[in-house]
Amino acid sequence: MIISTVPAITLNLQHHSSNPHSNSNDPYLRRNVISLLLKNRRSPKHVQSIHGHAIKTGTSQDPFVAFELLRQYCKLNSIDHATKLFYYTQNPNVYLYTSLIDGFVSFGSYTDAINLFGQMVRGHILADSYVVTAVLKACVLQRALGSGREVHGLVFKYGLSLDRSIALKLVELYGKCGVLEDAWKVFDEMPERDVVASTVMMGSCFDCGMVEEAIGVFNEMRSRDTVCWTLMIDGLVRNGEFNRGLEMFREMQVKGVRPNEVSFVCVLSACSQLGALELGRWIHAYLGKCNIEVNWFVAGALINMYSRCGDIDEAQVLFDGVKVKDVSTYNSMIGGLAMHGKSIEAVELFREMLTQRVRPNGITFVGVLNACSHGGLVDLGCEIFQSMKRVHGIEPAVEHYGCLVDILGRVGRLEEAFDFILRMGGQADDKMLCSVLSACKIHRNIEIGEKVANLLSEHSGIDSGSFIMLSNFYASLGRWNNAAEVREKMEKRGMIKEPGCSSIEVNNAIHEFLSGDLRHPERKKIYKKLEELNYLAKLEGYSPATDVALHDIDDEQKELALAVHSERLAICYGLISTRPFAILRVGKNLRICADCHAMIKLIAKITRRKIVVRDRNRFHHFENGDCSCNDYW
């Protein structure tokens, strides 16, 4: 809050002159020091040297010199020296406050920035639009709604309510904090609402999940620039409207608006989510036509797109061709290899990253730990987890603990996984509990499974997916009453089961299927192909695993329910719609069931096709009756 204070910092400045104010207003000395600063600002040490010279010459208290010194320290991220300089300066003016607040924001010390503004207000120093904009930026990044409201109140006191930059930051603040009504109020009171103002308001609508309202603002704009179109695409993609995001990109092209690298990254993200490989390839080629450089930012998006769309080989080629690789480039490739079950390759790339002195971050460890989980590399996974804090100084977060629990659970070390969860106490989230519960179901460990189920049923943050996992666990034990109770709890909370949905890209169009779907115009041909494959699969020895159909119905009904799962319908459509031997790539929003896994292995063998299926957890590459996961998923 703004009423807080910034603690004073002990100063260790050397060589103070006996009278530091003696030459503080000498214009020649001032120009000399500022000239030295502008010419020698390569590192904090250079600035410190000039700072010492200013103290010796008695110009360190000159407001212009102090401002330039502080500004240079902040530019070089030497925030400690900047803060010491600020507190050494007597009677700092609004410009010094603004510069240090900006420095805190750039350094990520948002709370310090807000507190320093509070100190300025209590010191009765009149704020201007620059310092108010700076502190509002800190409030936006910190999501500090309460402090932001206090600043908004001061805006009226200072007579700055009509300032455009302040209004824009207030709209952004209220949008980021989910208070869209207040964002609209500030927006409506703006005297001029140009493309920038409308773009900020549009972003606030997207931040609050109000997609239609954002589109309404977009449609009312008289002129639209590249930034506006890009934000529109990004907002749609962030809110799960992937197809609409792609449509907006096409409309952007029709209108003759030139996309920038951020536009491409946003649309590549949509392709990644949809599994639209052919469209992603076209966009990759279109990058060259727009003279967009494939730097680390764009390369990461392309690697992620190829990985998530099922072409890990192309992702590897692209990665190898990137000259300057940063942590995000490595993260994209490590995560892609992990998803495709190439666990050893992912770990080797992690080691190469360390050899190249690229410092890993939390995302890196999520990727490499997932690789260990998918590959059953238990000891290696535990070793990498332990190295996070000990070697790299990274405090493990919930997602890292979740990876470790998953590693232990998958190999059947359920007692260790459960003990780990108990030691975490309330930090264990529902996804972690579901991971262990799934492992208990696979390894038939009813004792620990029931303990985990009890913890999960009492968990406050449980979502619909976790409820379904809990229900399925009880159903796998034949405890239909318990399963029904769980589903009844779901209904009382207004939750619905996410339906299984699979998609396949054919001729640059995405075709989606639900379980037992009858909406597709080619449904007769699809079901005819499905019937044919079921017959041929049974000749190969296929027997439906009716135990995975977790409903209290007879075996014949279970067999029928399994036969029309969405991924099978998508594969059948691919078989009738593509040339012989073409690779089929299917995406599914849920985890593939064991029966479909067994069936698709046979379909790949019968049709002599390679079939790549991306489910919620990973990729499965089916070929010649085998799967890349080696039945370990």
In the numeric block, the tokens 């049923």 are attached to: 457
| Nearest Cα to Cα of residue 359 among 327, 324, 317 | 327
CA 449 to chain centroid: 31
Q: What pLDDT does 489 receive?
A: 79
Read off the tokens for 631: 């039945």
Bridge-based pairing of strands 611-614 and 584-588 is: parallel
**Dihedral, 489, 490, 492, 496 alpha carbons, nearest 10:** -160
- Yes or no: say if 558 and 565 are a contact pair by the CB < 8 Å rule: no
Length of the chain: 633
Cβ pair 633, 618 in contact under 8 A: yes
Q: Residue 412: what are its φ and ψ, rounded to 5°? A: 90, 5
**Helix (H/G/I), strand (E/B), else coil: 523:** helix
Is residue 586 classed as helix, strand or coil in its secondary structure?
strand
> Quick one: pLDDT at residue 28?
56
pLDDT at 41: 61
Give residue 321's pLDDT.
92
Give the chain's count of helices (H) and strands (E). 32, 6
Residues with Cβ within 8 Å of residue 523, at least 6 apart in sequence: 517
User: What CATH code is assigned to 1-161?
Assistant: 1.25.40.10
Q: Any residues with CB less than 8 A from the CB of 193 and at least 6 apart, and which?
A: 187, 201
Q: Which of 506, 501, 499 is nearest to 585 (CA)?
A: 506
Q: Among residues 177, 236, 178, which one has the least CA distance to residue 211?
A: 236
Please identify which residue in the block is written with the tokens 């007769």. 524
d(CA 82, CA 75): 10
Count CB neighbours of 126 within 10 A.
10
pLDDT of residue 63: 81
Cα–Cα distance for residue pair 285/295, rounded to 1 Å: 15
CB count within 10 Å of CB 477 equals 15
Write down the pLDDT at residue 556: 56
Question: Over the stretch 520-546, which tens digit does the pLDDT of each residue have?
Answer: 999 999 999 999 999 999 999 888 766
DSSP letter for 222, please: S
First CA to last CA distance, the chain: 48
Residue with tokens 């790949």: 604
Q: Which residues contact 368 (CB under 8 A, 6 or more apart)?
A: 334, 338, 346, 347, 350, 384
At the topology level, CATH places domain 224-324 in 1.25.40
Phi, psi of 588, deg, nearest 5: -130, 140
CB 616 within 8 A of CB 607: no
User: Which tokens sit at 243?
Assistant: 């197809």
Q: How far apart are CA 302 and CA 95, in angstroms?
A: 43
pLDDT digits (tens, 9 = 90+) for 310-334: 999 999 999 999 988 999 999 999 9
DSSP 47-92: HHHHHHHHHHHT-TTSHHHHHHHHHHHHHTT-HHHHHHHHHHSSS-
Q: Where are the beta strands (DSSP E) in 380-422?
A: none
Sequence letter at residue 501: C
Three-point CA angle 497, 403, 629, nearest 5°: 75
Burial 194-224 (b: 16+ CB within 10 A, else e): eeebbbbbbbbbbbbebbebbbebbeebeeb
Confirm if 489 and 464 have CB atoms less than 8 A apart: no
> What is the mean pLDDT for each group of 10 consecutive residues in the chain (633 residues)?
41 39 57 66 71 73 83 85 88 94 94 96 94 96 96 93 93 95 93 88 94 95 93 96 94 94 96 92 93 90 95 95 92 95 96 95 96 92 95 92 90 89 79 84 83 78 75 79 82 79 91 93 96 94 67 53 88 96 93 91 96 92 92 76
Within 108-225, residue ranges assigned H as helices are 110-122, 129-142, 145-157, 164-176, 180-188, 195-207, 211-220
- For residue 620, give the H/E element and its range: strand 619-623
Tell me whether the CATH fold assigned to 1-161 matches the one assigned to 224-324. Answer: yes
Domain boundaries, the chain: 1-161, 224-324, 397-492, 501-627
Instruction: Return the number of other C-beta atoms located less than 10 Å from residue 281's C-beta.
Output: 18
The SS3 call for residue 613 is strand
Distances (CA, A) of 384 to 214, 343, 350, 381, 416: 44, 13, 10, 5, 17
Q: What CATH number belongs to 397-492? A: 1.25.40
> 44 is written with which tokens?
């904090």
Q: What integer pLDDT is reported at residue 371 of this predicted model? A: 95
pLDDT of residue 632: 76
Pick from 357, 346, 296, 348: nearest CA to 321: 296
